[in-house]
Structure 1
Amino acid sequence: MTTTKLYYEDAYKSSFSTKVIQKKKADDGRLFILLEETAFYPTGGGQPCDIGTINGVNVVEVVEVNREIRHYVEEFPEDNDVFCEINWTRRFDHMQQHAGQHILSAAFEDVWSYKTISFHLGKEICTIDLEVPSITNEELEKAELAANRMILANHPIITKWVSQEELSGYNLRKELSVTDNIRLVIIPDIDYNGCGGTHPHSTGQVSGVKILGWEKQKKHIRIQFVCGARVLNQLQAKHAVIEKLTGLLNAPQEEMIQATDKMVKTSIELEMKVEELTNRLLQYEAKELVEEKDNKVIAKVFVRREIQELQQLARAIIHSENENRTETVIIFVVEQEDKIQIVLARTDNIEMNLNVALKEVLALINGKGGGKPSFVQGGGEKELPADEIVSKLKGMLG
């Protein structure tokens, strides 16, 4: 028995009574039921399914498989006579987004002759892919303006079932993928499109469309947009961010760009000064460590020191010692909260592969690492005290 599709008879139907035809378990163990008739829209055509309840039991997914509309439920309802309720907020949101997509695609084609080749209705943001290799802000703005004018004009949105022979009477925006059960969604003089989704009765109910951005997608352009209530949600979210930034920057909205630009420039200048001062401090530290050198070995244990900084310190020492043609081996061991890190380095006038010593020690602390024969780094677990690791490395390298 085929389920009657009430969502095609009335997209605004949010509740209905019907009978359960069958209760089944899918191959993956999930439970689903078949109904005599349903207003639950199944996933398809870029539009997600409806959710809701059947006799109070949650419907978590609706899909059509081999002309069988499966309502996946958390448990089977006890009775076969059931009352069904659709999550109307979700349904109407999908109606707004889907109709908005038709309108936006029509606008891109009317204004710029850019064809839409795919559509995705996401939980928060929708996308269309345009059959063009690039796009400009001017093109986006003009298409968005044209789309919102279509919405404001409050054109009717009509659905119609037609035969293959009747199609020649309609100027379809794209070629159909089906040859029977053809359903057209028509916005007179604006858009004629084969579509199985749910839509409002007029463009005015879409409320508005806003393009949020775009990205290159292979040889096409993907446009991100929202319609209806989602436009207000985006506006509210962005307004909250601006309100927060207004306080942080101590600047009104109209001066926020200048204030942010000034802050970024100041931040870059400060970072450069910090880097310069850090380099100076490392040079002083390098000189102190060279003075503490024991024979040819500079060995030290650090606590919670950034490994990148110690690599920089080791390079500064080796550079200076190479210029002085002095034989030097560096052993730095860092104790972090939950791990040990090691940096080993040597001057060019010493013939040894530091990877050999490093791997021998890393094997004791379940570690990993490596590098060039003259400069290596690695780390592992706190299986041994840092002083003991230094002692072992001194014995191998000293």
Structure 2
Amino acid sequence: MTDVIGAIGAVIGYLGAEVAEPTLFDRLLWPQRYYNNASVYDVLVLLILMPMGGPLHRAALQTLDQFRENGLYWGRCRGHMLNSAFFHKQNSTYSIISNDTSGNIVKEARNGLWVQVLKMVNPARVFPSVLANTSSARPDLEGRPRDHSKRLRSRHTIKYLKLRPIFESVKGSVKVSEEQPLSFTILLGILVSELSAIGIALFVGLWRGSSWLAVFFCIPLIFKLFGLALSVRRERLTPEAVKLHPPAVPAADMKQSPGPSTSLFEIHDGTNGFMLIESSPDLLLPFFRHYGHPIRESKVDRLREIWGIVLVYGFTVYFPAGLLALLWMDDPSRYIWLGYQTYTIVAMHIVRLIGLEGSGRTESGIAEHLQSGKQVCFSSGGVNILAELSIEEIESFEAGKTRVRQILQSHVWGQEHDMTTTTKPSF
């Protein structure tokens, strides 16, 4: 019987290792970002689908391979954090369109927070019914009746995000703070994500009287808590970095910084519709460069990096250790362990197939508020940014490109443009 259970455990380990995503270790190394949203929906997703007690050894090895390829083993300030679990890289670029530039400047968006926000905005929440928006009374972009002989193949959205600095909270806006080193929301997210393991551990400890197995089930939670306590420090915004200075007049008379003229940033992604951001370069470019990047100034910072790498390595041996521990378990405990592994594999399948890996993230919380028509006040390092989102729905890709071209041209020439928005008819 022991041989059969061991064989079943090996098969479960193989199946689970194939479905586990390395992005799980982004959560381990950056808990301040990935557990910073405590909406009811995200809490439920974390509770049911986000335990890390399954077979993650293959995903852990892939993460360690990336550390090695990036040169993070070489020493303090050696190698590159970008495109590793410490600082994930997005496959997006951006172009800057402004009155004082003769052409587009195309660069990588790196870990841009606002780009991820736009990616997480769900058009179905803004335009819930496709059929409701295809009535014959609705004109096309030029105001002409629609040609219903053309088949509708897909819908596209133009997401227009407007950012501006403020010095006081705007009435009616939702306050969203940056990722703090430690907060109740982050701690709650970590505990909730491993609540299933905690329940199993209590059951095994009290009913089976196996204290060592109860502790074994809680090891992923212990790893997460150590990861939170010793996580790397990260770069934040500062008023000096964004060249933002309080106005000379009283705040009651002037809540918004005059600042420099704004530029229009076109985000090139290819799979998330058309995305535009209007902001001053000094305010937005830090998010495309170093915002959130690990600080690597001291030996203590290097020790934090090493500790993070060690935690990832711990998950390479956690599941194999569980297989080995089957030799010392009685049959009921073996069934419990195999059942929990099966549960975690099913959860990982759901997360991967539906695309729920972003649940609990800071960007997810901002996107939820923006797509519901609310303004968001994002606070970081003494800098407050007011974000507004407008969305227009387009019924063909070519029409979307034409509409974006119109918006870009109107911005360059300083003209007003009109969009269907989630907050008001036009800017």
Q: TM-score range by the shorter chain?
A: under 0.3
Higher strand proportion (structure 1 or 2): 1
Higher helix proportion (structure 1 or 2): 2
Greater radius of gyration (CA): 1
**TM-score using structure 2 length:** 0.19
**TM-score using structure 1 length:** 0.20
Q: Answer 1 or 2: higher relative contact order, Cα 8 Å, separation at least 6.
A: 2
